[in-house]
Structures are given as structure tokens and as C-alpha cells.
Amino acid sequence: MRLQMAVSIHANSTTKYRVTVGEIQRRISPPECLNASLLGGILRR
């Protein structure tokens, strides 16, 4: 059994989004091909 970890992203003091590893992998793979810098900016929004 393989566990998928999720990242908690704080949008502001009250809102928190859970982002799965699969979503991050989708963002860095073609056709989006985001690098770590661009992905970090998106996750901070």
C-alpha cells in the first residue's frame, strides 16, 4: 500500500488548501512543466 502525502497550503489566516502529491506531479509534468519556482508561487496564492 503506497501512501500519498498531502501538503497544507495556507491561503490566509483562515483558509487552508490540501494539495495532493498527484496534483504537484501533474503540475510539473508536460504540458504544464512548471519549475519549482513557479510552482511555489502558485501554491502560495
Tell me, what DSSP letter sits at residue 30? T
Rounded CA Rg of the chain = 12
Q: What percent of the chain has pLDDT over 90?
A: 0
Contacts of 5 (CB under 8 A, 6+ apart): 21
Residues in the chain, how many? Answer: 45
Q: Cβ atoms within 10 A of the Cβ of 14, count? A: 6
Q: Which amino acid is at 32?
A: E
Question: How do residues 14-33 score in pLDDT, each as one tens digit?
Answer: 666 777 888 888 888 888 88
Please, what is the average pLDDT of the chain? 73
Q: Is 19 helix (H, G, I), strand (E, B) or coil?
A: strand
pLDDT for 21 equals 83
Domain boundaries, the chain: 6-44
